[in-house]
Amino acid sequence: MSIRAKDLTWGVAGRAIIEDIAIECPEGTLTGLLGPNGSGKTSLLHVVAGLRRPDSGVVELAGEDVHRLPARVRARRIAVLEQHASTTLPLTARQVVELGRIPHRGRWPAARDEGAAEVVEGMRLSGVTHLADRDWQTLSGGERQRVQLARALAQRPEVLMLDEPTNHLDLAHQIDLLATVRALGLTTVAALHDLDLAAAFCDHLVVLGAGRVVASGPPAEVLTARLVREVYGVEATVATHDHSGRLHVVWHDERASR
């Protein structure tokens, strides 16, 4: 399903955090939200996912207003992977993944095997099957992140929203997670910090600065040395790798030349 936002503004205590935002994510694409800390990536993600109601503007999922959908219906259609997921409950990894099935259960007690196949498949895709019986509290940050991805996939959503999904992951698992997400073919929006990973896996980029969109489009058009300098305050070279054909961003430490 495609998801589109237009004229979005949201703020706290009279201060706009995101302002006049417009983005469009065609069905089956991976859109990367980029920008420095404090630029509004997480806030925008939460508004688009329906977790926060905008002060103005609208978010549409296949033409339907996300914020007018019943909460249970919205939870079935949009899955959110938060940056810092935690619980003090004594749950196993599998039980955490099973939480993704809650929106699909009715008022009556569900059958014991309701959603079992989806839970198994979510854990397989996320590479956490071997963690099924581990206590959540004993998992590393990276393991928790992958278990949370499994929970989101067990939900069988139409849209996947990821807030810094590669946090706490080593490079191999960062690549594996984004490759897994891309292969799913789901409409996905991911807030990312790593520009190289964004260039390698995203179909479309939206760059935020101070709560506004400063650039959007295909990675090859958006990621330029000028943009990196203006948005991140870093001098960099952006070039296409000779063998892979992917963009690479190489930053320059000006202090070393002083």
Distance between CA 151 and CA 138 in Å, rounded? 17
Provide the whole-model pTM.
Answer: 0.89
Q: Are 152 and 99 in contact (CB under 8 A)?
A: no
Share of the chain above pLDDT 70, in %: 93
Q: What is the CATH number of domain 3-217?
A: 3.40.50.300
- Report which of 111, 114, 87 is spatially closest to residue 100, judged by C-alpha positions: 114
Top mean-pLDDT range of 5-14, 78-87, 102-111: 5-14
- pLDDT of res. 111: 55
Residues 6+ apart with CB under 8 A from 102: 75
Average pLDDT in the chain: 89
Q: pLDDT digits over 122-151, tens only? A: 999 998 999 999 999 999 888 888 999 999
Q: pLDDT digits over 174-201, tens only? A: 998 899 899 999 999 999 999 999 999 9
- pLDDT of res. 256: 42
Domain boundaries, the chain: 3-217
